């Protein structure tokens, strides 16, 4: 067999092995997603806090003392946020629950009739209790199956709630260990890289870390500032659940356009149901506009910039695809994986533009033509001398 064919076959088999390894890892992550969630979140927190630990360690402090100081600051900030937010959110949720009858009356008396006039559909009749009972009697078998499914979901939700509580208790412990041993983990992973690829892998890893670290730190600050801005703004115009809407919008700012859309939709509905006039609706639009101007003109350019290098549509797709494939774990991993993939794609583009495939084959010069050109050059030079 031709040696070049042997090399091509070996390269194909090597790529096939790597592809199978990636598929096996993805399948394993899908199976272990509920267990891996606190570990991934703790690893992200440890990775975000490791630069500060290294800086403190360079200032003649021990590793354990630096880790203890950074971990204490992180825990204090989280505890302070909980102490400030939980009472506010608790009051907002109580207010929302107390306002639900008013929301129902507005939906039945104003919202659905307006939709009926605009669309011609009969929507209010579907909410009539007699109609709902008759519909249930007509489809009692499906209703029984749905009830059984709902009970099963509730029972599973109880176990899921216990798992979430266990994960919350486990998270600070894992974060401390990742902060303490992060450099050791990096060294052990780096030791597994083939020696002839160490420089390339190290460069790509450092670039990915810089891109993703800058993006996450900047985006967390943007979420915090916009959440405060939206919550205070909606509270100032008089919405009873303004702080709750602001907190939700700030958290959803992580996904492009979803946070501002939350302010418009939820804030607009709350203003219409609570006040029913256009002045408060204009107030919601003003809060939305001010938040968008501050985000686009100052927050995003200064704090985030274009560090991740992904189009907003790609970010939305990454978050939704990660959530669909792996649940909450997938949403946590979506942007890190997308950022690393973007760095690898830039590296692949760089290699491609320097490859022979991109440059094309060099022109083939016939040997006889080269001899003729070489012989003709002295003749042309002699002719030029005689003319002079």
Residue 202, CA distances (Å) to 259, 274, 310, 321, 338 in order:
36, 57, 22, 28, 18
- The predicted model gives 262-268 an average pLDDT of 88
Residue 220 has pLDDT above 60, yes or no: yes
Residue 269: C-alpha distances to residues 98, 110, 131, 284, 308 (Å): 16, 12, 27, 10, 34
**Mean pLDDT score of the chain:** 77
Q: What is the 3-state secondary structure (H, E, C) of 107-129?
A: HHHHHHHHHHHHHCCCCHHHHCH
Share of the chain above pLDDT 70, in %: 78
CA distances from 313 to 131, 257, 321 (A): 43, 10, 12
- Mean pLDDT along residues 39-62: 86
C-alpha–C-alpha distance, residues 383 and 377, integer Å? 10
Tokens of 265: 């939709």
Q: How confident is the model at residue 286 (pLDDT cuts 50, 70, 90)?
A: very high
Give the pLDDT mean for 187-209.
Answer: 84
Query: What residues contact residue 374 under an 8 Å CB cut-off, 6+ apart?
Result: none
Question: Which of the four pLDDT bands, split at 50, 70 and 90, describes residue 149?
Answer: low
How far apart CA 169 and CA 38 sit, in angstroms, is 10
pLDDT at residue 361 greater than cutoff 70: no
The model carries a pTM of 0.68
Report the pLDDT averaged over residues 109-135.
66
């Amino acid at each position: 067999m031709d040696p070049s064919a042997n090399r091509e076959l070996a390269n194909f088999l090597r790529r096939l092995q790597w592809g199978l390894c990636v598929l096996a890892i993805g399948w394993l992550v899908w199976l272990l997603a509920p267990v891996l969630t606190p570990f991934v979140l703790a690893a992200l927190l440890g990775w975000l806090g490791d630069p500060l630990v290294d800086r403190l360690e360079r200032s003649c402090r021990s590793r354990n003392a630096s880790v203890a100081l950074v971990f204490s600051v992180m825990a204090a900030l989280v505890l302070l946020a909980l102490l400030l937010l939980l009472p506010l959110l608790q009051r907002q949720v109580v207010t929302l629950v107390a306002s639900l009858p008013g929301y129902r009356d507005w939906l039945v008396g104003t919202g659905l009739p307006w939709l009926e006039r605009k669309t011609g559909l009969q929507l209010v009749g579907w909410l009539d209790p007699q109609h709902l009972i008759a519909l249930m009697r007509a489809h009692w078998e499906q209703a029984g199956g749905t009830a059984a499914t709902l009970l099963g979901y509730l029972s599973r939700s109880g176990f899921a709630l216990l798992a979430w509580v266990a994960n919350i208790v486990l998270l600070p412990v894992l974060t401390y260990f990742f902060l303490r041993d992060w450099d050791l983990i990096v060294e052990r992973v780096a030791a597994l890289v083939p020696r002839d690829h160490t420089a390339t892998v190290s460069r790509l890893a450092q670039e990915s870390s810089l891109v993703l670290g800058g993006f996450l730190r900047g985006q967390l600050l943007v979420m915090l500032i916009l959440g405060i801005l939206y919550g205070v703004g909606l509270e100032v115009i008089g919405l009873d659940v303004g702080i709750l809407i602001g907190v939700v919008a700030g958290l959803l700012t992580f996904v492009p356009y979803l946070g501002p859309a939350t302010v418009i939709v939820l804030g607009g509905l709350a203003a219409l149901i609570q006040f029913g006039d256009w002045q408060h609706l204009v107030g919601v639009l003003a809060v939305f506009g001010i938040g968008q101007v501050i985000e686009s003109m100052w927050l995003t350019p200064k704090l985030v910039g274009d560090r991740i290098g992904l189009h907003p549509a790609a970010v939305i797709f990454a978050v939704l695809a990660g959530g669909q494939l792996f649940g909450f774990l997938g949403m946590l991993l979506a942007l890190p994986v997308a950022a690393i993939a973007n760095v690898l794609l830039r590296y692949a583009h760089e290699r491609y533009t320097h490859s022979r495939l991109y440059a094309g084959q060099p022109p083939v010069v016939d040997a006889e033509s080269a001899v003729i050109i070489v012989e003709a050059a002295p003749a042309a030079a002699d002719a030029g001398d005689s003319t002079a």
